[in-house]
Structure 1
Amino acid sequence: MYNILIKYNDSKSLWQLYGTSSSTTSNEETFVPFETDDLEKLKAEIKILDEKYGHENIKVVKTIEYTVDITISDSNKQE
């Protein structure tokens, strides 16, 4: 899964997750991050953001899921 980080703020020192926000009838704001596995969709979105913010203010990150198996052994046994 690919996400986009972007520098929105004026100081341009903080990377923020890019996505869309919407308000509900109860005045609660909902944020939906941009996520895709489709490289063509990602390229199109990056092109739009590049024109608006510049390439130096955009980062693409890929989420990698993995599993870690841990084995704990009792090595304090005295012989």
Structure 2
Amino acid sequence: MSACCSSGARQTHADSDIVTRSVMTCPHCGTSKPEEMPRDACQIVYLCTGCGATLRPTAGDCCVFCSYGSVPCPPIQADRLT
């Protein structure tokens, strides 16, 4: 199970250390849209507002933000800060 989905993943850093906005970019049509990331959950499905494609994490990634976002999800960011 990935770090962001594990029950042991907890927010331990100051809010200023974690980025909660990510720009999602569709690999099919190139549409980019800023989105707010959940701080304590994995988002495994994202619907592109440009072409309607349903995006899911690529192999090895825990969520759509880690696969298609400009920054990884908050739990992964927190792991990298430790």
With the length of structure 1 as denominator, give the TM-score of the two structures.
Answer: 0.29
Which one has a larger percent strand, Structure 1 or Structure 2? 1
Structure with higher Rg: it is 1
With the length of structure 2 as denominator, give the TM-score of the two structures.
Answer: 0.29
